[in-house]
Amino acid sequence: MTIGESAENYLETILMLSERLPVVRSVDIATELNFKKPSISVAMKNLRENGYITVTKEGYIYLSESGREIAETMYERHKLLSSWLMTLGVNEKTATEDACKIEHDISRESFEAIKRHIHSA
């Protein structure tokens, strides 16, 4: 199954929040992304139905193995690309925004080539 950019963003956000919060809830995601809670609820339902997350009866959201894999891939891309753009002289805000756009569309092959180039420089 192909996962869309929006779902990738949600998974990445869950991962980032889980690194700084004891538990992740829909309200945390809504606050982080500045979205309305109903939008988050629909997205979480879709992610849960597709096996990317689990939600406890208390409303705590956890990434499944497949969800974590996608989230970690997006997060790695985001961090590396935004950092790289900033070293090229792009301001942090623009670098972060552009990295967010690029991370979803770049092929694995191209990303790995960029990563090799950055690490060998």
Q: In CATH, what number is assigned to the domain containing residue 46?
A: 1.10.10.10
Q: Is the domain of 77 the same as that of 103?
A: yes
Predicted structure pTM score: 0.88
**What values do phi and psi take at 62, rounded to 5?**
-130, 145
| pLDDT (0 to 100) of residue 98 | 96
Task: Examine the domain organization and report whether 91 and 57 are in the same domain.
Answer: no
54 and 77 part of one domain: no
**Per-residue pLDDT tens digits for 40-93:** 999 999 999 999 999 999 999 999 999 999 999 999 999 999 999 999 999 999
Q: Report residue 5 as tokens.
A: 């950019």
How is residue 110 written in tokens?
Answer: 């191209």
Q: What is the CATH number of the domain that holds 112?
A: 1.10.60.10
Q: What is the enclosing helix (H) or strand (E) of 63?
A: strand 61-63
Q: Are 76 and 40 in contact (CB under 8 A)?
A: no
* Residues 52 and 86 both lie in one domain: no
Residue 76 belongs to domain spanning: 70-120
Structure confidence at residue 121 (pLDDT):
76
Residues 85 and 116 in one domain: yes
Last residue of a domain, which of 49, 64, 79?
64
Number of domain units in the chain = 2
**Residues 2-24 pLDDT 10s:** 689 999 999 999 999 999 999 99
